[in-house]
């Protein structure tokens, strides 16, 4: 493999960038398949390694907590040291951890391997969207590239359980993690050969904020662990509330640190920009609603409707079908209605799906299927629209941080969605919900929990969408997302240089105020 040549400018078509997009799509394929393909094997793993239920849960949770907790830190690291360099290092670590699976003989070793995979995912995932965004200058191509990559990921999510079950029929469970190795090789080849080296002028050169990184990681980890503690220990135990208290303290200290640090890990002024905060709110609404709905529907199909696991998995097919079939239409839809309108319309579809489930979800499966399809349709668009909005609102030297923020918002709110549904269910349902063979009274309690959980999720997601709509109304980012400081003519044209020299000088002043280097007009308009 040869080192990439420095590209003279952005790619002008997806075909031109096919090598790079293949590598980036392979990274996202790993991320989406990583949990679903292994979940099928957890009973087998438990039998062969004599593992208790709690240990099996940490095979999944260990990956998710490390992944979610470190994404923001590695997004900032990538912006400082190079997105491509951090991505390649993460892929090498992932390949090594996958190969180490062959030598696992106990649960401790497997949990450690999964935690290292979570670390590798935190190094690679933020760079996927950031690199795809930076390969192109035209917004339409950016949307199409992100849609293409996410479609590959959705395919991996959909086929993961099927692939896992098929492989287990003739091979040991370790093969499921060893399958990452060819994906890593494909990703390494595509990124090394197709992605141009980072331009040093587009890296963030401020000193690292170690204290902010520790506090931010602690807050995110506690936000991810607390829902698990509520689900397993219950609201009457001390551990979940201790985690919530620790989360509040860590979050408060993180905000204070970032507001006072000379070189913060996360510049809160950038996060407060309308395009950024609005895009994050859309993504948070999607994560909250989708995870909460999936949790409730999974229980409902098997325990309320009495479907066997195989039939229950087929019951999720309407959602999977919409996620896969919607890929070719996403960029056309965004192109037709505009990215801002696409963001609120798709997020609104998720809220509508939650509302349908809240009102009609206990009346029969057709209503459940309708809710799943509405949420899936929204998810298919909001990921690309919200992600591009966040990227548009940030300078070029913070794109990996923006991608990490987007993914972290989805991870944390997904955990919150499951926590809401699990806590309401625990409060209203008398007995062990997993035992099945419910009495009529228990069935009524489950239906009441579904309605109340759905109502809370609908109102919370709707509030996030409404706030994001209000926040982004009339906000049109200029070059590198700089709207503030531009003259009225420049804002009218999205902040571009059509506003004349005054607008250009205002944009340069705004960049200087943030510590970003002034633009070189000779660099092909970049």
**Which of 298, 282, 290 minimizes the C-alpha distance to 322?**
290
Residue 305 has pLDDT above 50, yes or no: yes
* 445-479 residue pLDDT tens: 989 999 999 999 999 999 999 999 998 886 654 44
Looking up tokens 């040869």 gives: 2
**Rounded average pLDDT over 434-453:** 86
400 contacts 75 by C-beta, under 8 angstroms? yes
pLDDT greater at residue 64 or residue 347: 347
User: How high is the pLDDT of residue 352?
Assistant: 96
In whole angstroms, what separates CA 362 from the centre of its chain?
30
User: How high is the pLDDT of residue 100?
Assistant: 92
Both tokens assigned to 352? 């509508």
**Which of 303, 348, 299 minimizes the C-alpha distance to 453?**
299
Residue 6 has pLDDT above 60, yes or no: no
User: How high is the pLDDT of residue 475?
Assistant: 60
User: How high is the pLDDT of residue 94?
Assistant: 93
Most confident of 192-201, 432-441, 476-485, 502-511: 192-201
| Residue 350 exposure: Cα atoms within 13 Å on the Cβ side | 35
Q: Determine which of 74-78, 96-100, 396-400 has the lowest per-residue pLDDT on average.
A: 396-400
Helix 53-81 and helix 107-134, axial crossing angle in degrees, nearest 10: 30
- DSSP letters, 409-463, are HHHHHHHHHHHHHHHHHHHH--S-GGG----HHHHHHHHHHHHHHHHHHHHHHHH
pLDDT greater at residue 10 or residue 333: 333
pLDDT greater at residue 452 or residue 160: 452
| Residue 341 exposure: Cα atoms within 13 Å on the Cβ side | 7
User: How high is the pLDDT of residue 97?
Assistant: 93
pLDDT greater at residue 506 or residue 19: 19
Confidence tier at 434 by pLDDT (50, 70, 90): low
**Rounded average pLDDT over 180-189:** 93
Confidence tier at 26 by pLDDT (50, 70, 90): very high
Dihedral sign, Cα of residue 123, residue 126, residue 132, residue 135: negative
- Helix, strand, coil percentages in the chain from 3-state DSSP, rounded to 5: 80, 0, 20
Q: Please give the share of the chain, as a percent, with pLDDT higher than 70.
A: 87
Q: How far apart are the first and last CA of the chain?
A: 29
Task: Please give the Cα distance from 107 to 47 (Å, whole number).
Answer: 11
Q: Determine which of 108-122, 339-353, 493-507 has the lowest per-residue pLDDT on average.
A: 493-507
């Amino acid at each position: 493999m040869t080192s990439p040549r420095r590209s003279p400018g952005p790619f002008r078509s997806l075909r031109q960038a096919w090598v790079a997009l293949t590598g980036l799509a392979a990274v996202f394929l790993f991320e989406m398949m990583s949990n679903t393909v292994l979940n099928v094997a957890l009973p087998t793993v438990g039998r062969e390694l004599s593992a208790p239920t709690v240990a099996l849960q940490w095979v999944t949770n260990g990956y998710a907590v490390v992944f979610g907790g470190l994404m923001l830190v590695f997004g900032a690291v990538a912006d400082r040291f190079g997105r491509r360099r951090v991505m390649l290092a993460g892929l090498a670590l992932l390949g090594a951890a996958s190969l180490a699976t062959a030598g696992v003989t106990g649960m401790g070793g497997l949990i450690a391997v999964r935690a290292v995979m979570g670390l590798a995912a935190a190094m690679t995932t933020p760079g996927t969207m950031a690199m795809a965004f930076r390969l192109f200058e035209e917004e339409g191509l950016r949307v199409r590239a992100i849609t293409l990559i996410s479609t590959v990921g959705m395919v991996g999510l959909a086929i993961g359980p099927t692939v896992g079950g098929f492989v287990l029929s003739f091979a040991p469970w370790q093969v499921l993690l060893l399958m990452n190795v060819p994906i890593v090789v494909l990703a390494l080849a595509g990124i090394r050969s197709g992605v141009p080296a980072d331009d040093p002028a587009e890296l963030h050169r401020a000193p690292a904020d170690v204290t902010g990184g520790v506090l931010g990681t602690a807050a995110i980890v506690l936000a991810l662990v607390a829902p698990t503690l509520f689900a397993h220990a219950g609201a009457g135990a001390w551990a979940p509330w201790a985690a919530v208290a620790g989360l509040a303290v860590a979050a408060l200290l993180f905000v204070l640190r970032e507001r006072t640090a000379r070189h913060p890990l996360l510049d809160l002024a950038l996060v407060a920009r309308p395009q950024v905060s609005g895009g994050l709110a859309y993504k948070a609404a999607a994560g909250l609603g989708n995870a909460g709905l999936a949790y409730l529907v999974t229980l409902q199909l098997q325990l309320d409707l009495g479907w066997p696991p195989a039939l229950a998995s087929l019951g999720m097919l309407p959602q999977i079908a919409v996620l896969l079939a919607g890929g070719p239409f996403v960029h056309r839809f965004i192109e037709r209605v505009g990215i801002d309108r696409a963001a609120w319309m798709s997020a609104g579809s998720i809220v509508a799906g939650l509302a349908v489930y809240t009102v009609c979800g206990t009346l029969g499966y057709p209503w459940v299927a309708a809710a799943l399809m509405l949420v899936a349709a929204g998810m298919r668009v909001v990921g690309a629209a919200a992600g591009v909005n966040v990227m548009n609102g940030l300078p070029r030297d913070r794109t990996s941080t923006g991608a990490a923020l987007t993914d972290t918002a989805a991870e944390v709110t997904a955990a919150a969605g499951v926590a809401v549904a699990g806590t309401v269910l625990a409060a209203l349902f008398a007995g062990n919900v997993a035992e099945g063979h419910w009495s009529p009274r228990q069935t009524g309690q489950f239906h009441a929990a579904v309605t109340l959980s759905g109502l809370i999720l609908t109102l919370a997601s709707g509030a996030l969408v409404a706030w994001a709509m209000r926040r982004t109304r009339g906000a049109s980012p200029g070059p590198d997302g700089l709207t503030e400081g531009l003259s009225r003519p420049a804002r009218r044209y999205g902040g571009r240089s059509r506003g004349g020299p005054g607008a250009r000088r205002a944009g340069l002043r705004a960049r200087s105020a943030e510590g970003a280097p002034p633009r070189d007009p000779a660099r092909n308009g970049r």
